[in-house]
Amino acid sequence: MTALAKDTRLHIRCDQEIRRLLDKAAAYAHMSVSEFVLRNAVEQAQSVVQAHEAITLSQDDFAAFLDALDTPAQANPALQRAFFRHAKHVQ
């Protein structure tokens, strides 16, 4: 994590057992509880965002995707009507 200026606060309430656990873990990691919690929360947040925003394809699926980009399907009548409606409403 980069050492940028921290300009906002995050307040978290927890019970005493969790606080003792966080204190112990932060001590083992040689950092403050705030730094420990923030670093681990950011890593977890990045993982969750990555899982929801990234698409991973097999080699076969990626090849099929590239093929579809290179040779798009012909527009069927419903798609042609949609193009017409879109062109009518968008200047």
Provide the domain limits for residue 67.
16-88
Question: For residue 20, is it within any domain?
Answer: yes
For residue 4, what pLDDT is reported?
65
pLDDT value of position 82: 93
| 49-61 residue pLDDT tens | 999 999 999 999 9
Would residue 62 count as lying in a domain? yes
Mean pLDDT, residues 21-50 taken together: 97
Q: How many structural domains compose the chain?
A: 1
Instruction: Give a yes or no: residue 9 inside a domain.
Output: no
Residue 73 binned pLDDT confidence (cut-offs 50, 70, 90): confident
From the CB of residue 55, how many other CB atoms can be counted at a distance below 10 Å?
Answer: 7
Kindly state whether residue 68 falls inside one of the protein's structural domains: yes
Per-residue 3-state assignment (H helix, E strand, C coil) for the chain: CCCCCCCCCCCCCCCHHHHHHHHHHHHHCCCCHHHHHHHHHHHHHHHHHHHHHCCCCCHHHHHHHHHHHHCCCCCCHHHHHHHHHHHHHCC
Q: How far apart are the first and last CA of the chain?
A: 46
